[in-house]
Structure 1
Amino acid sequence: MQPRIPRQSAREHGVQRVDNDARLSAELASVVGGARRRAVRDGDRQIDTAHLLHSLLDSDPEARAVFAEGPQIARLLGYLVQRSIGYGLRWQSRVEDSGAVPVVTEAAGFSPLAAACMDQACERAARRGGPARGTDLLAVIVADPRARAVEVLERAGIDPRQVLDRLCGAPDTTRDCGEATH
């Protein structure tokens, strides 16, 4: 049986295979694997920033800690689950586009914007001198108003700018907060 979303060379989207990418922390590689599984399970053509956000919240305690506990995180997770069980169907027919990378419609893998965010997270981490972490990825995702993850946050009543402000106040992230925008 062929998978609904065949694996594609991540190099096609400017991102090395995350299974052995030294630029990613083990936690972030796990996040990306979770986002890939979520996209396959949901029947989505590509891993988009909302898949990455959902996986960050599920498996990265440092990224999850950026969000206020209680109703805010519960509402966000509820919305992400709702999206994965049906709301996302309206997004399956179009690609999350960064505007900078050619749109790929016949292959699975990262959306152009998600690929760009992965690259920028790795660049942020390289300036810090370490592998990319979940908070690096979260910072570049929430800084881009075109990201589906930003739409998800806004629909859940969370201001992405406040998330970015919290990230900028976190250790090891203040240097690059001004560079998180696309």
Structure 2
Amino acid sequence: MQPRIPRQAAQEQGGRRTDNDAGLSDELASVLSGARRRAMRDGDRQIDTAHLLHSLLESDPEVRAVFEDETQVARLLGYLVQRSIGYGLRWQGAVEDSGAVPVVTGEAGFSPLAAGAMEYARERTARRGGEPALGIDLLAAIIVDPQARAVEVLDRAGVDAHALYVRIERHLAKTG
């Protein structure tokens, strides 16, 4: 009998960061750890953009702040919880890949779209001066491909991904 909650990988215990977390803020590295645990718990083969979205919404106040209001965040979390208890079963065993972004190698455990989003988040921060990638950068990265599972969840919750991206850019222009 398998335990209900899988054990953390040795590299996640004690707060040690993995190579995949290089170039990320401590907060975003924590988000990735949460997404990894969620994917394992859900029985998914890979971390996809919906896992990343779920973890971002739960742990990053700056990410939640770019949504129109708290009801959008609540609806999104509702859909994501439904997914974790069965809503996303049709996704299990399938690789998230729209073909719109190049496949990034070296991001073990990530779907091709999620791996591409990680790289895009790092590139966004490099253009701003090279500080570590933040949750808001990853949010922007996971919503740029309309085939991403995160975009499907946004759409089901009534959130326009393009309008959200515009709000992210405005937020970063004000704070950056």
TM interval, shorter chain, is 0.7 to 0.9
Residue number in structure 1 paired with 2:96: 96
**CA-atom RMSD, angstroms?**
2.7
Whether 1:17 aligns to 2:20 is yes
Stretches of 4+ aligned residues off by more than 6 angstroms = 1-7
Whether 1:145 aligns to 2:146 is yes
* Cα separation, 1, equivalents of 2:24 and 2:173: 16
* Cα separation, 2, equivalents of 1:62 and 1:102: 27
Whether 1:157 aligns to 2:158 is yes
Return the offset for 1:139: 0.7
* Counterpart secondary structure, 1:171: helix
Listed one character per residue, the Cα deviations across residues 76-104 of structure 1 (whole Å, up to 9, x for unaligned) are: 1101100111111110121001523289x
Percent of matched pairs sharing the same residue: 64
Return the offset for 1:140: 1.4
Counterpart code for 1:101: V
Change beyond 3 A, Cα 1:6–1:138: same
Residue number in structure 2 paired with 1:85: 85
Alignment size in residue pairs: 161
* Counterpart secondary structure, 1:45: coil
Counterpart code for 1:89: L
Within a 5 Å distance, the mapping from 1:1-182 to structure 2 comes to: 16-18=19-21, 21=22, 23-99=23-99, 100-101=102-103, 109-129=109-129, 130-172=131-173
2:145 touches 2:151 (CA, 8 Å); kept in 1? yes
Tell me whether 32-41 or 63-72 shows the greater mean CA deviation: 63-72
Structure 2 alignment gaps of length 5 or more: 10-17
Structure 1 alignment gaps of length 5 or more: 8-14, 176-182
* Cα separation, 2, equivalents of 1:71 and 1:172: 25
TM-score (norm 1): 0.80
* Cα separation, 1, equivalents of 2:93 and 2:150: 17
* Counterpart secondary structure, 2:88: helix
